[in-house]
Amino acid sequence: MTQFTRRGLIASIAAASAAGTLSRESFAQAAYPSRPLTLVVPWGAGGGTDATARIVGALLEKDFGQPVNVVNRTGGSGVVGHSAIATAAPDGYTIGMVTVEITMMHHQGLTELKPTSYAPLALMNEDPPGVQVKGDSPYKTVKDLADAIKAAPAGKFKASGTGQGGIWHLALIGWLQAMGLKPDHVAWVPSNGAAPAMQDLAAGGIDIVTCSVPEGRAMIDAGRAKSLAIMAAERNPMFKDVPTLNEALGINYSVGAWRGIAGPKGLPADVQARLVAGLKKAYESKEFTDFMTNRGFGIKWADPQAFAAFMEDGDQKMGAAMKAAGLAKA
């Protein structure tokens, strides 16, 4: 954190003195970006989204030669930060990291904001959900667990991983529906995120946590939890021993938490092109790939058009799933 800040400070001093040497006229006409950028993050400092935003910010800073300040605007289940990105001036100096919640919150009636409220720039990451159980759980494979769930009465098994109607809740619902069960066959216990849910799992308060495997890593490494499967098309190279649902159960269901960069609607075309080029360069850099794979985070690229289509598709799927589960506001 300090590193970025100090570098930002030095860079802004350098930029200020450089600007001083230019004539007023050439400064006014200087190509974008001619001053520091703000990258808004709707989630707290230190989390996975924050870490991803900070590495992207640092790489953009190198490319643009302008400081990129990462600003956390947290709270309100992500509404506060997402709103700050959408309502910023569309000059390219305020952009932000939008997350999967933008395709979900408006179905719940929390906000009017939806994917079309933004100028999409790039998709950078996607993480599939996992299926975690307690370290000393009797279920050795995801098949054991699935059989036990099917045999048990509705509501006996309790699962957690995020708040009510959050992405990991929908992952559970999707998995249950793929097995031909009702969305509430396993009861959802809302939590303040993946870490408290994993702690409650280890303490024996709940049976299953459907967060992504990297989020559960600390408890898994400590031997207090184990991951039985991931809901993705392929295994995660960082967690090679964890099979996919398709391998274990023949269920081809996958949904993921994703993170991308977007700006407010109405960005000038040249500014947008410059941002996308910078993001593409950052995405392809060795620093970014190393950083993400070391943490077990998935990487996934989409340019503005593809990102918009990706969000639109996700928005419809989420809407349908939330309606089926009774989570959508009519």
Q: Where does residue 165 fall: left (phi above 0), alpha (psi -120 to 50 degrees), or beta otherwise?
A: left
Q: Order across the sheet with 187-188: list the strands.
A: 187-188, 158-160, 208-209, 130-134, 225-230
Tell whether residue 74 is a contact of other proteins (CB under 8 A): yes
Minimum distance of other proteins from residue 210's CB (angstroms)? 16
Minimum distance of other proteins from residue 158's CB (angstroms)? 5
CB 10 within 8 A of CB 67: no
Burial 133-169 (b: 16+ CB within 10 A, else e): bbeebebeebeebbeebeeeeeeebebbbbbebbbbb
Nearer to other proteins, 224 or 300 (CB): 224
Nearer to other proteins, 77 or 272 (CB): 77
Minimum distance of other proteins from residue 21's CB (angstroms)? 29
**Dihedral (CA of 52, 99, 184, 253) sign:** negative
Nearer to other proteins, 199 or 246 (CB): 199
Tell whether residue 36 is a contact of other proteins (CB under 8 A): no
Quickly tell me which residue has 């159960």 as its tokens.
249
Minimum distance of other proteins from residue 75's CB (angstroms)? 2
Minimum distance of other proteins from residue 303's CB (angstroms)? 29
Q: Where does residue 161 fall: left (phi above 0), alpha (psi -120 to 50 degrees), or beta otherwise?
A: left
Residues 75-134 that bind other proteins (CB under 8 A): 75-77, 79-80, 83-84, 108, 110-111
CB 129 within 8 A of CB 136: no
How far apart are the C-alpha atoms of 186 and 180, rounded to whole Å? 13
Structure tokens at 9: 């400070």
Q: Which of 72, 236, 244, 272 binds other proteins (CB under 8 A)?
A: 72
Residues 175-234 that bind other proteins (CB under 8 A): 187-192, 195-196, 199-200, 202-206, 218-219, 222, 224
Q: Which of 26, 164, 252, 316 binds other proteins (CB under 8 A)?
A: 164
Minimum distance of other proteins from residue 224's CB (angstroms)? 7
CB 92 within 8 A of CB 275: yes
Q: CA dist 277 to 27, 191, 285, 321, Å?
A: 23, 38, 12, 35
Q: Which of 130, 165, 264, 296 binds other proteins (CB under 8 A)?
A: 165
Q: Which of 53, 54, 64, 73 binds other proteins (CB under 8 A)?
A: 73
Residue numbers of the site for other proteins (CB under 8 A)?
A: 1-2, 5, 44-47, 71-77, 79-80, 83-84, 108, 110-111, 155, 158, 160, 163-166, 187-192, 195-196, 199-200, 202-206, 218-219, 222, 224
